Chains A and B, each alone.
Chain A
């Protein structure tokens, strides 16, 4: 399993763009990069997934450089409701049993008014 490293916490203000970077130096060829968001007292929910270059959906963008050793989740124009914990996960499950999904500590994003 590729280990991921991301900042413990970040602060931002409403309306700003927030970029959270995740390092995954040991990413394997078959690994995808997936980001989840978790609000207090709720389970995480999927935000975005990518393999290379850039992926964009209605919520966020995911930037992956050519070497894939890191990735950046970009949240455009954050609001107070984006205050949450964001998790970066790497893997594809091609191992015994498959899809052993490990969450790290995540990044606590606090958006201020």
Chain B
């Protein structure tokens, strides 16, 4: 268990409302990621962070913003949710090991439905 939790796990909201998903880790890992996954598709990277206040865009960043004000929390915000953002959102942390690039540990996912 890499000590990563996501909240909320489930959320239903209406179009146009802001939504924030939280990813929390307990082990001070530098790299954190937000992905979305839609039915029958692979994961798509939204944003990632390589340190406090250091973030960068992924493949599908439009309509999303992130913040990382402290090591343990990586927040994903939908400023004005749309139905196309209905998805399962996964947070991940990278755990380095030895000389290799390490591996990603994923949270349990947050299922968001935008009506």
* Pick from B48, B90, B105, B107: contact of A99, CB under 8 Å: B48
Q: Is the CB of A101 within 8 A of B45?
A: yes
A32-B101, A34-B101, A46-B103 are contacts. A100–B42 as well, Cβ < 8 Å? Answer: no
In the complex, 11 of the A-B residue pairs with CB atoms within 8 angstroms, ordered by the A residue number, are: A43-B106, A44-B104, A45-B105, A49-B101, A97-B48, A98-B50, A99-B31, A99-B94, A100-B45, A103-B43, A103-B45
The minimal Cβ–Cβ distance linking B64 to chain A, given in whole angstroms, is: 16
| B residues 19-67 in Cβ contact with A at 8 Å | 31, 33, 35, 41-45, 48, 50, 54, 56, 58-59
B48 cross-chain contacts in A, Cβ below 8 A: 97, 99-101
User: B residues within 8 Å of A by Cβ?
Assistant: 31, 33, 35, 41-45, 48, 50, 54, 56, 58-59, 88, 90, 92, 94, 100-101, 103-109
Q: Which residue of A lies closest to B96 (CB)?
A: A99
A46 cross-chain contacts in B, Cβ below 8 A: 103-105
Q: How far is the CA of A68 from the CA of B86 in the complex (A)?
A: 38
Choose, from A58-66, A69-77, A85-93, the stretch at the interface.
A85-93
Q: How many residues of A contact B (CB 8 A)?
A: 27
A97 cross-chain contacts in B, Cβ below 8 A: 48, 50, 54, 56
The minimal Cβ–Cβ distance linking B99 to chain A, given in whole angstroms, is: 9
Q: Which residue of A lies closest to B6 (CB)?
A: A43
A28 cross-chain contacts in B, Cβ below 8 A: none
A105 cross-chain contacts in B, Cβ below 8 A: 41-42
A101 cross-chain contacts in B, Cβ below 8 A: 33, 45, 48, 92, 94, 104
Q: Which residue of B lies closest to A91 (CB)?
A: B101
Q: How far is the CA of A48 from the CA of B92 in the complex (A)?
A: 17
B41 cross-chain contacts in A, Cβ below 8 A: 105
